[in-house]
Amino acid sequence: MCLGVMAKAGANLHRAIPHVWEVPTGGITGLNNLVDPDEISMPVHHSLNQTVLSYTTRTCLSCIKNHLEADLKVCTQCKMAYFCGSSCQKEKWSRHKLVCKKIRQGSDLITFYDEMPKQMIVDTNGFLPFDDAYDNDLVLEDGQDEADYYDDVEE
């Protein structure tokens, strides 16, 4: 799904270059490192990263030749990965195939985009709007008011 959403970004894909927040083993304690996903432990993220780079820089996914150095062809499936020839395509297919089909499917996810939460604009005091005010139904004994209720809860 993550891949699909990125592909849905379409023309904005240059903003979707995936990095991964590296969470230290002790948990999140402060600033954490933004790392490039590596090929062994994060093959899918790595492949997506390489594919997006190939697309945004218009370079061969395998040998990194650019469009001035080679006659690049774009992958017919995902329309994102560029290859300078069939040998480079074969060389990288085992990796690229991890994301190729998903990227293609992602471009059809427009309906999903409509279901995403909408941005809520804060008011001039910095508060989010309330949808509804609702009674939280305190169960008050006779003669007890709201302040007493909270005192009781606090013990």
The site for Zn ion (CB under 5 A) is made up of 60, 62-63, 75, 77-78, 81, 84, 88, 100
Shortest Å, Cβ 102 to Zn ion:
10
Cβ atoms of residues 33 and 27 within 8 Å: no
Q: Cβ closer to Zn ion: 42 or 107?
A: 107
Closer to Zn ion at the Cβ: 37 or 72?
Answer: 72
Q: Which residues neighbour 123 within 8 Å (Cβ) at sequence distance 6 or greater?
A: 129
Closer to Zn ion by Cβ: residue 37 or 81: 81
Strand, helix or coil at 33?
Answer: strand
- If the CB atoms of residues 37 and 78 are measured against Zn ion, the closer one turns out to be 78
Residue type, 139: V
Beta carbon of residue 20, minimum distance to Zn ion (angstroms, whole number)? 21
CA distances from 104 to 26, 72, 85, 116, 130 (A): 38, 19, 21, 20, 39
Q: How far is the CB of 34 from Zn ion (least distance, A)?
A: 26
Minimum distance from residue 109 beta carbon to Zn ion (Å): 17
Phi, psi of 117 (to 5 degrees): -60, 140
